[in-house]
Structure 1
Amino acid sequence: MKDEIIKLLKKENKLSTKTIDEMQKIDVNEFANMVKEIGKQKTEHIRSEEILEDLNTEYIGKNLYVFKEVSSTNTIAKFLSTNNVPDGSVIISEKQTSARGRSGKVWESPLGGVWLSIVLNPHVDYSKLPLITIATGVAVAKTLEKIGIENPEIKWPNDIMINGKKVCGILTEAVTKFNTIDNVIVGVGIDANLDIDEFPEELKIGTTTIEKELGRKSPENLLIKIFLEEFEEICELFNHSEYEIILKEWRKRSYSVGKIVEVREPFNKYYDGYVVGITKEGALVVEKIDGTLEKVISGECIIKN
């Protein structure tokens, strides 16, 4: 992570005159302050002033850092989360060069999308992390509904679908110390105003964009503002342990329930099954071919029908 931070600072000419020895002597707080300073500079496409104007939240997004280009907003968020940024801080980038997804997948995120990460201090144990991803999916789906997308669906565990095609991915990561969770980083990537023809061939078939579905552009700054408001609303439910309300909203929009899937769990545990539902902990319930029920806590579900 430190190498990526140094790369960002060099690109922004914050370390261009310093030798390697001088860089090694820089205090981590000074690194953090330089990163924060870059995040407060004016950017061309994502404008913090437009997002913050009339933003109806108490804490989500009130502390905002916007970058022209970073390797990954989750990387920047994880670094800043250990250097005194308040709960609800949001890191946004116009571009990402090495965005990360589940199972270590990496890709580029060009102009025209919404690429952001949120720093949370939820004071929960590991068992609640899947519910944070579930809650985030609901917030994204509600955002899409507000801008005119009909029937967005949530594919367990972390994809938002429109008409059977992926439009958004979510990556939730815990920042830990001594086996306790200090912070949770929620990364969200929405394919907003991208040209589907410029996608890699392997992604074109199963991917869509908001612009393609609506037939018009949806301004990224407005999209971010709506999402932050929806996210805080769902966070308040989470913070007050109203998990069943969150799960009810998720179930209404489920893309996975009722489908036959190939489950790919860690350590090469693969099997086919029928998705029955979701537990109160956010695990997917799958009926296997032999009739037994399996709780899927982590992994991937590939739709087969």
Structure 2
Amino acid sequence: MHIIKLNATDSTNSYLKTLCANECVADYTAVVAKKQTNGRGQMGTIWSSQSSKNLTFSVYKDISEYNLKHPFYISIVISLAILRTLRFFSIPKLSVKWPNDILSENKKVCGILIENVVKQNNFSSSIIGIGLNVNQVEFDNLPKASSLRLVSGHIFNLDEVTNVIINNLKHYFNILKKGQVDVLKAKYELSLFRKNKPSTFQDAEGLVFSGFIKGVSDFGNLQILLEDEVIKEFDLKTITLLY
């Protein structure tokens, strides 16, 4: 695997996108930065990370031959790869907070940002940004954040964690390439945070309501059983899961 190590960059996703625009990039090329000055998360949020304590990296994935109809399966693959990695390192009580925040003991340890490239109406490639809290122990004003060190008591080798993640990405992308989307979706739904538990949500207008998470659609919408026994689908822009 080809890994580019940087002391600092504004965003590993942006760096990798620029690299792809200027040269031919090998599949699974990764850009790892000790420090990001402008790390990005879902929906335009900022990903904050202490220098050299955590993993902030991006991976290039060629998906031009995958015949992919629903890009949410890329998110599923990455979530499963992170879960498999953390289980390998004996991290406890793992779950996926829809769509792709990775939790341990109900606290966020990993965020994922995916930027897909479409060419001639087909998905061509993905830039996969991963921010994993590894050895950081202080999270000022972030009560729902944690790290692998905090939940396990161990200090981790960042290079080792990176290599295991990339190998697990290869494992699950191979399953996706074979078209076994039902297998991937079933594994993902088994790990959904608060699945089949009474949960509270807030919609885009600020209305708070209750329901039970039942699963996800092929489009990545969250399927919620409401009080009137009707299952309704919500996309990321219209609903927030409150803990």
Aligned partner of 1:132 in structure 2 is 74
Shift of 1:263: 4.7
Instruction: Output the CA distance in 2 between the equivalents of 1:274 and 1:179.
Output: 36
Shift of 1:93: 0.7
- Among residues 84, 105, 115, which one is paired with 2:56 in the alignment? 115
Q: Is the 8 A contact 1:97 1:109 kept in 2?
A: no
Instruction: Output the CA distance in 2 between the equivalents of 1:106 and 1:222.
Output: 26
Shift of 1:171: 0.9
Amino acid at match of 1:210: L
Correspondence list, 1:254-265, <5 A: 254-259=192-197, 260-264=199-203
Q: Which runs of 5+ in 2 are unaligned?
A: none
Instruction: Output the CA distance in 2 between the equivalents of 1:109 and 1:74.
Output: 15
Correspondence list, 1:173-192, <5 A: 173-177=115-119, 180-192=122-134
Shift of 1:293: 2.0
Structure with bigger helix share is: 1
Aligned partner of 2:155 in structure 1 is 217
Q: Does 1:81 pair with 2:20?
A: yes
Number of residue pairs the alignment of both structures matches: 237
Q: Write out per-residue CA displacement over residues 228-254 of structure 1, whole angstroms, 9 at most, x where no aligned residue.
A: 111110010011111111122212322
Aligned partner of 1:236 in structure 2 is 174
Q: Structure 1 residues 301 and 168, CA, compared in 2 at 3 Å: closer, same or farther? A: same
Structure with bigger strand share is: 2
Correspondence list, 1:1-305, <5 A: 62-83=1-22, 84-110=24-50, 111-123=52-64, 127-177=69-119, 180-196=122-138, 199-201=139-141, 203=142, 205-259=143-197, 260-264=199-203, 268=205, 272=209, 273-299=211-237, 301-304=240-243
Q: Is the 8 A contact 2:70 2:218 kept in 1?
A: no
Q: Structure 1 residues 82 and 264, CA, compared in 2 at 3 Å: closer, same or farther? A: farther
Q: Is the 8 A contact 1:81 1:183 kept in 2?
A: no
Instruction: Output the CA distance in 1 between the equivalents of 2:207 and 2:108.
Output: 22
Q: Structure 1 residues 213 and 91, CA, compared in 2 at 3 Å: closer, same or farther? A: same
Aligned partner of 1:57 in structure 2 is none
Q: Structure 1 residues 94 and 237, CA, compared in 2 at 3 Å: closer, same or farther? A: same
Q: Write out per-residue CA displacement over residues 148-205 of structure 1, whole angstroms, 9 at most, x where no aligned residue.
A: 1123111110101111100001111112456543321111110000022xx231x1x1
Q: Is the 8 A contact 1:67 1:94 kept in 2?
A: yes
Shift of 1:116: 1.0
Q: Structure 1 residues 120 and 263, CA, compared in 2 at 3 Å: closer, same or farther? A: farther
Amino acid at match of 2:30: V
Q: Which runs of 5+ in 1 are unaligned?
A: 1-61
Q: Is the 8 A contact 2:28 2:166 kept in 1?
A: no
SS of corresponding position for 2:129:
strand
Q: Percent identity?
A: 22
Instruction: Output the CA distance in 1 between the equivalents of 2:71 and 2:49.
Output: 25
Instruction: Output the CA distance in 1 between the equivalents of 2:37 and 2:203.
Output: 27
Q: Is the 8 A contact 2:60 2:126 kept in 1?
A: yes
- TM-score, with length taken from structure 1: 0.71
- TM-score, with length taken from structure 2: 0.88
Pairwise CA RMSD: 2.2
Q: Structure 1 residues 152 and 169, CA, compared in 2 at 3 Å: closer, same or farther? A: same
Instruction: Output the CA distance in 2 between the equivalents of 1:90 and 1:174.
Output: 16
Q: Is the 8 A contact 1:167 1:191 kept in 2?
A: yes
Of 167-176 and 295-304, more deviation after overlay is shown by 295-304
